[in-house]
């Protein structure tokens, strides 16, 4: 049964898509795992990266509607129905250089925010329709878990209803970071947001039971408890600005060093309550070095960075 992992941060520009797609490729190609990638970011950057410009141009411009995307899955929700429309044919299983299957994103997915927001208002009272709408991503994942080892979910930087539904469906989440003051502010935002809506969600489940409708929890794909309460498995960082000291050693600039020294403490202060005890000593999952021109070159060729070849234009100091 698949482990469901969301890559999420309130701050954009932290390498979230690059990190998640390359980790997915590593699991698939180096470790032989079967990976499904769900693009729930309306910017669709991971869809473009994995499937390539030719596929994306055909799907969204030349023959719009001919290829099914996440928008087809949530079509009933946009009509105010508490269900999804999914079949296995919506998964893009065609060959790609990442070695993963992908459910392609769509820029119009953001339209679901209003529908989910309306449901969220009613959820705390224990309304089953509101709970079902909020659990749409859990319903989707439930259809797919048995077919994969990992399901990765790429999310945009918002603190809205769409990301809330994705995190409800997730077992774990990773927070890609950049070492700057806005990342620390983003951590505080995430902490407050998670704490508030988890309490509201759990109150909705409690009220459904108090209303003598608890049997509906077994009838519909509604998550009764939330694994992400202890599902934050850590963060990644992007390399920071450096300069040479008098001995020729490269050191962080003074401004970055100040932030770097307090970064781990800030992470635990804000998200430590969501970190399972088993990983508390290893929440720094890795530092992503400055890739310079490698990242855009990989994007241009729709390949993971580790898969770049001479034919892709890699040469010299690369």
Kindly report which listed range (28-37, 95-104, 147-156, 242-251) carries the lowest average pLDDT score.
Answer: 242-251
- Is the separation of the CB atoms in 47 and 56 below 8 Å? yes
Query: Closest by alpha carbon to 104, among 136, 63, 53, 56?
Result: 56
Cα–Cα distance measured from residue 182 to residue 239, given in angstroms and rounded to the nearest whole number = 15
Q: Is the pLDDT of residue 316 over 60?
A: no
- Is the separation of the CB atoms in 181 and 108 below 8 Å? no
- Give residues with Cβ within 8 angstroms of 53, minimum separation 6: 302
Model confidence pLDDT, tens digit, residues 157-200: 999 999 999 999 999 999 998 877 888 888 899 999 999 999 99
Distance of CA 170 to the CA centre of its chain: 9
- Give residues with Cβ within 8 angstroms of 295, minimum separation 6: 18, 305
Cα–Cα distance measured from residue 144 to residue 141, given in angstroms and rounded to the nearest whole number = 5
Q: Is the pLDDT of residue 257 over 80?
A: no
Q: Return phi, psi of residue 231, to 5°.
A: -115, 5
pLDDT at 244: 55
Neighbours of 29 (CB within 10 A): 17
pLDDT at 249: 61
pLDDT at 252: 57
Neighbours of 172 (CB within 10 A): 19
pLDDT at 254: 64
Model confidence pLDDT, tens digit, residues 290-312: 777 888 888 889 999 888 988 98
pLDDT at 77: 96
Query: Closest by alpha carbon to 141, among 133, 128, 150?
Result: 150
**Residue that has been written with the tokens 């499937």 in this structure:** 51
Q: Is the pLDDT of residue 313 over 60?
A: yes
Neighbours of 242 (CB within 10 A): 14
Cα–Cα distance measured from residue 50 to residue 29, given in angstroms and rounded to the nearest whole number = 14
**Residue that has been written with the tokens 């600039």 in this structure:** 253
pLDDT band at 125 (very low <50, low <70, confident <90, very high): very high
Strands 3-7 vs 150-154: parallel, antiparallel or unpaired: parallel
Cα–Cα distance measured from residue 315 to residue 318, given in angstroms and rounded to the nearest whole number = 6
The pTM (predicted TM-score) of the whole model is: 0.91
Cα–Cα distance measured from residue 305 to residue 298, given in angstroms and rounded to the nearest whole number = 5
């Amino acid at each position: 049964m698949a482990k469901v992992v969301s890559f999420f941060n309130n701050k954009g520009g932290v390498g979230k898509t690059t990190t998640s797609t390359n980790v997915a490729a590593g699991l698939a190609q180096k470790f032989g795992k079967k990976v499904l990638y769900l693009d729930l970011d309306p910017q669709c950057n991971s869809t473009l990266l994995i499937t390539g410009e030719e596929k994306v141009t055909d799907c969204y411009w030349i023959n719009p509607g001919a290829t099914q995307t996440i928008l087809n899955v949530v079509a009933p929700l946009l009509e105010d129905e508490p269900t999804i429309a999914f079949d296995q044919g919506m998964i893009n299983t065609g060959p790609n250089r990442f070695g993963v299957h992908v459910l392609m994103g769509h820029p119009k997915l953001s339209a679901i925010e209003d529908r989910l927001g309306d449901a969220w208002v009613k959820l705390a009272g224990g309304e089953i329709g509101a709970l079902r709408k909020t659990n749409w991503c859990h319903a989707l994942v439930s259809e797919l878990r048995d077919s994969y080892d990992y399901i990765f979910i790429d999310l945009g930087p918002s603190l809205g209803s769409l990301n809330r539904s994705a995190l409800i469906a997730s077992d774990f989440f990773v927070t890609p970071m950049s070492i700057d003051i806005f990342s620390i502010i983003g951590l505080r935002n995430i902490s407050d947001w998670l704490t508030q809506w988890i309490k509201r969600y759990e109150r909705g489940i409690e009220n459904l039971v108090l209303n003598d409708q608890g049997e509906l929890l077994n009838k519909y794909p509604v998550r009764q408890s939330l694994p992400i309460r202890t599902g934050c498995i850590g963060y990644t960082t992007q390399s920071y600005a450096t300069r040479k000291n008098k001995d020729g050693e490269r050191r962080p600039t003074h401004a970055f060093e100040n932030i770097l020294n307090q970064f781990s403490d800030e992470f635990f202060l804000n998200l430590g309550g969501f970190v399972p005890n088993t990983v508390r000593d290893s929440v720094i999952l890795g530092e992503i070095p400055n890739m310079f021109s490698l990242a855009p070159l990989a994007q241009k060729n729709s390949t993971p960075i580790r898969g770049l070849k001479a034919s892709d234009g890699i040469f010299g100091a690369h």
